[in-house]
């Protein structure tokens, strides 16, 4: 008996990396097999680019608006929204696995639980990279430019990956606690509130009232600033580090939420 327990413990301690890669690969194949899963990754951000830049094109004439080209403002915003959906996608896939009983089999297997958390993250990061590439190309085709060059692109990509990391933590933490499809609206409300109550539409200086106060302390405001730098001018350390700190702190909080969640899921 003790021998079996030792073997299981050893298996859990040694095999998280292959499990992570296998789960990430499975998640990505799932995207290819379910075309509807591409909609939030690509179609939604592209719609946001078209709708926001079309509807609110004249916002660029506001006094504090930092660019004449409204696409330079909204393309990074849409990319970060798509990156958030990349994280949610893995959350929805986990719900499906829990409902079909596949997740129970994963929990019973003598593999590491770490792999069950790292696998979805890897999948989210790949999905987010896909979103960054496609939406950026679409934005460029419409007329967005990136005066910040390669460094600006790296800042945008890092922000996209950061958002995917955060949203995966939020999604997994939630679906481990609400392991059914009802988690979906709660997941979306989270991103909906955080994006609307930030500098998504206009800069802080052009906002008024309570929303301005909320946007000032919203971590997404700093991450957006980091992502937008390359579109608005040169990338600076001063414009980057608050975004990195926001990603790090949000990730710690939401990944604690996920880790404690998976513990609740297992007896």
Partner 1 sequence: MTVAVLDAHEVRIGRRQAVDQARALARRSVVGTLRQPQVWLPGLLFPMFIATVNTSTMGKAVHIPGFPPVDSLLDFLLPASITQSVLFGGLTAGSDTALDIQTGFFDRLLASPVSRTSILVGRLAGASVTGALQAVVFMVVYGIFGVRIAAGPAGAVLLIVFAMVLALVIGGFAAMLALRTGSAEAVQNVFPVTFIGLFISSAFFPTELMTGVYRSIARRNPITWMVDGMRHQVIVGLDWSEAATSLAVAAVLAVLAMFGANRALQSRLRRAT
What three-state secondary structure class fits 174? helix
* Among residues 11, 211, 244, 259, the one that binds partner 1 under rule CB under 8 A: 211
Instruction: Convert residues 62-91 into a mask of x (bound to partner 1 by CB under 8 A) and - (unbound).
Output: xx----------------------------
Closer residue to partner 1 in complex, CB, 50/265: 50
What b-and-e string marks burial along 28-51, b requiring 16 or more CB atoms within 10 Å of the CB?
A: bebbeeeeebbebbbebbbebbbe
Q: Could you give the string, one character per residue 35-64, with x where binding to partner 1 holds by CB under 8 A and - elsewhere?
A: ------------x--xx-xxxxxxx-xxx-
For partner 1, the binding residues in 15-34 under the rule CB under 8 A are none
Of 3-11, 111-119, 203-211, 226-234, which part binds partner 1 (CB under 8 A)?
203-211
Q: Which residues of 70-97 are buried (b: 16+ CB within 10 A; e: fewer)?
A: bbbbbbbbbbbbbbbbbbbbbbbbbbeb
> What is the pattern of x (binds partner 1, CB under 8 A) and - over residues 144-183?
----------------------------------------
Distance CA 53, CA 47 (A): 10
CB of residue 180 to partner 1, shortest distance in Å: 15
Q: How far apart are CA 223 and CA 229, in angstroms?
A: 10
- Separation of alpha carbons 98 and 161, rounded Å: 26
- Would you call 108 exposed, middle or buried from its count of C-beta atoms within 10 A (0-12, 13-18, 19+)? exposed
- Which of 151, 212, 233, 245 binds partner 1 (CB under 8 A)? It is 212
196 binds partner 1 (CB under 8 A): yes
Binding site for partner 1 (CB under 8 A): 47, 50-51, 53-59, 61-63, 196-197, 201-202, 206-212, 215
């Amino acid at each position: 008996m003790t021998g079996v327990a030792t073997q299981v413990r050893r298996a859990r301690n040694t095999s998280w990396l292959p499990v992570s890669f296998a789960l990430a690969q499975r998640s990505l194949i799932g995207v290819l097999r379910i075309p509807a899963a591409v909609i939030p990754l690509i179609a939604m951000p592209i719609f946001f680019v078209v709708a926001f830049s079309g509807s609110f094109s004249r916002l660029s004439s506001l006094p504090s608006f930092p660019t004449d080209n409204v696409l330079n403002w909204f393309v990074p915003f849409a990319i970060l929204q798509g990156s958030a959906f990349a994280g949610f996608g893995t959350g929805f896939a986990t719900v499906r696995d829990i409902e079909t009983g596949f997740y129970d089999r994963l929990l019973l297997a003598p593999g590491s639980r770490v792999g069950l958390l790292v696998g979805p993250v890897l999948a989210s990061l790949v999905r987010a990279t896909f979103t960054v590439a496609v939406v950026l190309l679409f934005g460029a085709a419409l007329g967005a430019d990136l005066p910040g060059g390669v460094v600006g692109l790296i800042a945008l990509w890092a922000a996209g990956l950061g958002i995917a990391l955060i949203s995966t933590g939020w999604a997994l933490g939630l679906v481990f606690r609400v392991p059914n499809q009802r988690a979906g609206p709660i997941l979306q409300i989270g991103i909906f509130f955080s994006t609307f109550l930030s500098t998504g539409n206009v800069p802080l200086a052009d906002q008024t009232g309570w929303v301005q106060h909320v946007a000032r302390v919203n971590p997404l405001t700093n991450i957006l600033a980091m992502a937008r730098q390359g579109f608005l001018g040169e990338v600076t350390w001063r414009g980057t580090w608050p975004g990195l700190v926001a990603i790090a702190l949000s990730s710690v909080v939401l990944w604690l939420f996920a880790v404690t969640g998976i513990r609740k899921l297992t007896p």
